[in-house]
Structure 1
Amino acid sequence: MKKLIVLFAPILFLYTAANAQVKLASVFTSNMVLQQQSNVPIWGWDKPGSSVTVNTSWNKKSYKTRANAGGKWKVKISTPIYGGPYTVIVSDGNTIKLDNVLIGEVWLCTGQSNMEIPMKGYKSQPIAGSVDAILKSANNNIHIYTVPRSSVTEAQENSKPSEWHVASPEFVANFSATGYYFGRLLNDMLHIPIGLVSDCYGGSSAEAWMDAEGLKDFPEIKVPAKTDSIKAVSRTPTTLFNGMLNPVIGYGIKGCIWYQGESNYERPDQYEKLFPAMVKRWRGLWQQGDFPFYYVQIAPYDYAQLPPYNSGGKYNSAYLRDAQRKSLNIIPNSGMAVLLDVGEQATIHPPRKEPAGTRLAYLALAQTYGITGFDYASPLYKAVTIEGNRATIRFEHAENGLTAYNKPLQYFEIAGKDKRFYPAQAAISGSTIVVSSPLVKEPVAVRYAFNDFVTGDLFGTNGLPVSSFRTDDW
């Protein structure tokens, strides 16, 4: 019987190949949004050597190609300025017709649970204001797509089946809250179609979203063999890249938004190098240059509540937030949305997701789409000057000054050469902060809000919170 199965297997393969017909990658469905004014790839599979034609209704053009020896085919099609709806027809004699295709701006929404959590919330974990937002979400010019979860040790060419959907309460309720709020504001301001691709996995580490090549400079991170079992589905290096990212790499996008870091909080020094390496690798694989990459600085949370209940030292998640802050100087064409004012001590999933999405959108609207006249970014630590017993902190993005809303600043600390930090008096002076303590006669370093959990009390006049920071490298 075994011999019969072995003999039958190649016959079955030949029969399947001989009767193959054109198939599209899962990400190409009706209701999809294609990036405007680009040459975007469309790909799929067919019988090796088959001739495949792609017809696009906006320019009445036909694009022809042939499936290679492995059965894969790919064409690049030219997209116009935003508009639609259009149709795309793919044929090898058998025809696939994609309807209600829009041309607009496409953004990849990636990360772990705080990007993945849907508008309706997780069970017993709400999203603030979600009912009203979901109820009002119907919009023919916002289309959404979710890449299904998949964690595997071998790179996949295709993801599990999914569908593009037009924004409506039914589908928005189950879509990334951060991603939706981001896309909604883009659509409100740009008045063009927005496509959002959610590619997330709760609890995931950054290294799970990287391939072996991207991890080659991190020998301490063990890349699993193809035959290895996966014990941690969202934290095993390369496995989410293999199952969820690799299948959509190359889909035409404008840029990416990222909300992750919680699962790397205990390794901030490594993350300071790992995160920029990940972004560089993704950009290289997409072959779209340094596309915009905007990310969320993780919100404060009491991480000592999580097993194995580590606390103190580098287990303070402020170090991870600081690694993210420093990454702005390493990752070109990037921006960071600060959430120092919306964290929750008791939950790692802050219910207020609208600030995350809208602050990411502010960055995109200003830096990518060139909208001027509004103050779009949180003030960021720039430099410290020490004179006598006082340290003066200067900031970027604080041209219109700083504010504590007429309350005393509580979270500044100052240290001398002994590296011991003391609570400090801090006063706003226009766009600077003057910090001192009677206990530190010769200061050498200042920290602000450098705690695992904290609710920031320093803001730009634009209302956006200042990121936690440190002037030292201890």
Structure 2
Amino acid sequence: MKYILLFFAMLASTASFAQINLPSFFSDNMVLQRNAEVNFWGWGNRGGQVLIIPSWSKDSIKVKATGYARFDAKLKTPEAGGPYEITVISGRNRRTIKNILIGEVWLCSGQSNMQWSSYNKLQEMIDELPNANNPKIRLLQVSNIASASPQDNIYDSWKECTSETANGFSAIGYFIAKQLSRELNVPVGIINSSWGGTPAEFWTPAKYIEKDQELLNNAKVHKPSTGKPHEYATLWNAMIHPLAGYNIAGAFWYQGETNVGTYSGYNKLFSTMIKSWREAWKSDFPFYYVQIAPYDYKSPANEQKGAFLREQQAKTLNVSKTAMAVITDLVPDVKNIHPTRKKEVAQRLANIALTEVYGKNATDYKSPVYKNHKIEGNKIIIDFDYLEGKLQVKGKEITDLFIADDSKNFVPASYKIDKNKLIVFSKDVKKPVAVRFGFTDISMPNLFNDKGLPVSPFRTDSW
């Protein structure tokens, strides 16, 4: 009897050593990036051989697990298509992942405006749900979990897009996926890893925060609150770090409202966060983001914190392969920090990706952003980046346009439009020094490019 028990104990031990564990997001229904060498990893028998068999290929991949039981492989993916399977064999154990599509994978992240969904009574998404059954779209919803240290896994798996699975999923993420899949005619996987009310420090690795005193000081401003973490890096650790290496086409980001109190350091923080993600992925992937919407932050008149934060976001365009969607015209109510027109926000982000990543032939697909200015007599002439066509005003006069001399007293300005230049002046200002446009928390100015995209708010001074 003793030997029989020992025999079964040895069998159990062998089985446990030969078991295969994969990250939860290597699951049925997942999407892998097309035409790529995608990273594929997991845990098996320590030092043992792991065989990986993708059904789209005649070739299998053999790798060895390390002494820590982790194995890493690269799988060459074909053009878009599917469904496929991947079988993983370690010892006598076998795992098969089914219903895999090959297509485009994008990561969505940020705070509540990215997270906003039908659960928040968002009518656009509620109306969409009956039509949301689309097997070419796959959704990965990352649970809101924080951690004091970097994690290797999450608790979530891919779902095929249906009326049920789209319910509660990021509206912006869903509408981006729908547009990309329709226009590219390929499967699209969207990862939503966002959490309402969270500052960018939470999404940035600790080592980058701790080596910069300004970032560290600003990170310590955020105090404990019910329902969310309050320490920097904790969401990076639990909601982004586990995904690092899972091949993506790029990232979409909508966040900033929670950082208005420390706006002066946001460009540095945001740029650092983008670079840290790219380093973790070992990929210079595109990063497209939304400039925060007009909202009444109750700022003092001389310190419009929302305007200053938007300015910092515009400065982040100096980071390579970034682009910004401006949404000053998509706000029904400046007392609601969650604007309800999410479908148009998604469309602006998707159009940027379609043009810059996928080669769609388009002009003026991004909002004009202040480039420089020159003073000629009693006029200030403004030039813009991302503007090929003409400027246009929707209304009788440009709203929220001001000019000042060296007294720093801004007065309403007159203007002329010369194709893609804005000429600003006032009969009351003989020697102008500075122009401000839409530079308040709640401004919804009416200057656009000829494709209907709003000009980003700006100021020419640094007062």
**What TM-score comes out, normalization by structure 2 length?**
0.91
How much does 1:382 deviate? 1.7
Contact 1:86–1:102 under 8 Å retained in 2: yes
Name the SS of the counterpart of 1:272 in structure 2. helix
Whether 1:39 aligns to 2:27 is no
Letter in structure 2 aligned against 1:322: E
User: Partner residue of 2:9?
Assistant: none
Select between 45-54 and 75-84 the one with higher mean Cα deviation. 45-54
Q: Which residue, out of 310, 315, 324, partners 1:321? A: 310
C-alpha separation in 2, matches of 1:396 and 1:63: 48
C-alpha distance in structure 2 between counterparts of 1:419 and 1:243, whole Å: 47
**CA separation of 1:111 and 1:432: change in aligned 2, threshold 3 A:** same
**1:18 Cα deviation from its structure 2 partner:** 4.6
Q: Which moved more, 1:64-73 or 1:255-264?
A: 64-73
Q: Measure the CA separation in 2 of the matches of 1:325 and 1:166.
A: 36
Alpha-carbon shift at residue 51 of structure 1 (Å): 2.4
Distance of aligned partners of 1:17 and 1:242 in 2 relative to their CA distance in 1, 3 Å threshold: farther
Q: How many residues align?
A: 445
The alpha-carbon deviation at position 418 of structure 1 amounts to 2.0
Q: Aligned-pair distance for 1:421?
A: 1.7
8 Å Cα contact 2:363-2:388 kept in structure 1: no
Is the 2:295–2:441 Cα contact (8 Å) retained in structure 1? yes
Once the two structures are superposed, the pairs formed by residues 125-136 of structure 1 within 5 Å of their partners are 126-136=121-131
Partner residue in 2 for 1:50: 48
Shift, 1:315, TM fit:
4.7
Displacement of 1:150 in angstroms is 1.0
**How many angstroms does 1:130 deviate by?**
2.2
Distance in 1 between residues matched to 2:166 and 2:30, nearest whole Å: 15
Q: 1:248 aligns with which of 243, 249, 252?
A: 243
Offset at 1:278? 0.9
Encode CA deviations 1:224-245: one digit per residue, 9 max, x unaligned.
Answer: xxxxx97673442010011111
Larger proportion of helix: 2
* Contact in 1 for aligned 2:24/2:153 (Cα 8 Å): yes
- 1:166 counterpart = 2:165: no
Please list, as runs of the form range in 1=range in 2, the aligned pairs for 1:138-177 lying within 5 A after superposition: 138-160=133-155, 162-177=156-171
CA contact (8 A) 1:221 1:237 kept: no
5+ long unaligned stretches in structure 1: 1-13, 224-228, 305-309
Residue identity matched to 2:111: Q
In the alignment, which residue of structure 2 is the partner of 1:218? 212
SS of aligned partner of 2:328? coil
Which letter does structure 2 place at the counterpart of 1:75?
A: A
Alpha-carbon deviation of 1:133?
2.0
Q: Is contact 1:34-1:40 (8 Å) kept?
A: yes
Post-superposition Cα deviations, 1:109-134, rounded to whole Å, max 9, x if no partner, equal 1111111112x141xxx424223322
Find the counterpart in structure 2 of residue 339 from structure 1: 327
Distance in 1 (CA, whole Å) between partners of 2:256 and 2:50 is 42
Which residue matches 1:203? 197
Q: Tell whether 2:262 aligns with 1:263.
A: no
1:301: which partner in 2? Answer: 295
- Using the size of structure 1 for normalisation, the TM-score is 0.89
In the TM superposition, residue 58 of structure 1 has moved relative to its aligned partner by 0.3
Q: How many angstroms does 1:378 deviate by?
A: 1.1
Letter in 2 for 1:51: Q
Name the Cα RMSD after superposition: 2.2
CA contact (8 A) 1:31 1:100 kept: yes
SS in 2 for 1:318: helix
Post-superposition offset of 1:216:
3.8
> What residue is the counterpart of 1:64 in the other structure?
62
TM-superposed CA distance for 1:222, in Å, is 4.4
Q: Gaps spanning 5+ residues in structure 2: where?
A: 1-11, 218-222
Partner of 1:98: 97
User: Quick one: distance in 2 between partners of 1:159 and 1:472?
Assistant: 46
Change (3 A) 1:77 1:323: same
**Matched residue SS, 2:389:** coil
Q: Do 2:38 and 2:247's aligned partners in 1 also have CA atoms closer than 8 Å? A: yes
Report the Cα distance in structure 1 between the residues aligned to 2:108 and 2:362, rounded to whole angstroms. Answer: 27
Query: Is the Cα–Cα contact under 8 Å of residues 33 and 247 in structure 2 kept in the other structure?
Result: yes
Question: Partners in 1 of 2:15 and 2:212 — Cα distance?
Answer: 41
- Secondary structure at 1:214 match in 2: helix
Is 1:430 the equivalent of 2:419? yes
Moved more, 457-466 or 374-383: 374-383
Where 1:199 maps in the other structure, the secondary structure is strand
Alpha-carbon distance in structure 2 between the residues aligned to 1:410 and 1:365: 32
1:399, CA displacement in angstroms? 2.3
User: Aligned runs of 1:413-424 on 2, under 5 Å?
Assistant: 413-424=402-413
In structure 2, relative to structure 1, the CA distance for the partners of 1:17 and 1:97 (3 Å cut) is closer
TM superposition shift of 1:221: 4.3
Please give the per-residue CA displacement for 1:254-287, whole angstroms capped at 9, x wherever unaligned.
Answer: 1111111111112222011111111111111101
2-structure distance, mates of 1:313, 1:97: 61
Q: Structure 1 residues 128 and 48, CA, compared in 2 at 3 Å: closer, same or farther?
A: same
